[in-house]
Amino acid sequence: MSLISDITTPPGPVPSPADQDEVTVIPLKIEDWLTVIVMGLLALITFANVLVRYFTSQSFAWTEEFSVFLMIALALVAGSASVARNRQIRIEYFADNGPLARQRALARFGAIMVFLLFVLIAVLSTRMVYDDIRYGETSPGIGVPQWWYTVWLPIMSVAIAGRALGLFIRRGRRE
């Protein structure tokens, strides 16, 4: 066997990502289905806008604003899924090498930092939603109340914080 084939050929069958999911109290299928729904909505909205532009030389004004909202929602849902599956960004060299006790401590430290960050984001974004409601802010594109969009940031931040707390607890139970 040559060096090139050793580098390009994986050592064994690649496991399915679904096979690697840990058991969680709240099923990970929630994020999976939300991802499918949001991506489907994005595709439908974009396709409808393309058809309308093609046949009428006009565009739906609301599609860009709503698509941006859906992309942000998709990023937050995917962030929740990545935290729950322990696939968030980290320095692999430190996280996966060294003594098992250090790996566990770093995993727990990372999880609690993610938890604290998203609790802070939830608190601050709740204040932003309150201000949007109090001052009657409207969206720049189609003029709907701004809080229709911003209310999802604290909700999803709490979800991500919950997933991070669950990861922190699961990493503490590992032997």
**pLDDT of the residue at 34:** 96
The pLDDT profile of the chain, 175 residues, written as one tens digit per residue, is 455 555 555 555 555 555 567 778 888 899 999 999 999 999 999 999 888 888 888 777 778 889 999 999 999 999 999 999 888 887 777 778 888 888 888 889 999 999 999 999 999 999 999 999 999 999 988 899 999 999 999 999 999 999 999 999 998 885 5
**CA 157/CA 18 separation, integer angstroms:** 24
**pLDDT of the residue at 101:** 87
Angle among Cα 135, 139, 145 to the nearest 5 degrees reads 55
Rg of the chain taking only CA atoms, in angstroms: 21
User: Which residues, 6+ apart, have CB-to-CB distance to 46 below 8 Å?
Assistant: 63, 67
The phi and psi torsions of 11 (rounded to 5 degrees) equal -65, -25
Residue 84 and residue 167 in contact, taking contact as beta carbons nearer than 8 Å? yes
**pLDDT of the residue at 97:** 84
Residue bearing tokens 């929630």: 30
User: Which residues, 6+ apart, have CB-to-CB distance to 119 below 8 Å?
Assistant: 157, 158, 161
Domain residue ranges of the chain, discontinuous segments joined by + = 25-173
Residue 67 and residue 42 in contact, taking contact as beta carbons nearer than 8 Å? yes
pTM score of the predicted model: 0.81
Residue 150 and residue 142 in contact, taking contact as beta carbons nearer than 8 Å? no
**CA 150/CA 161 separation, integer angstroms:** 17
**pLDDT of the residue at 174:** 58
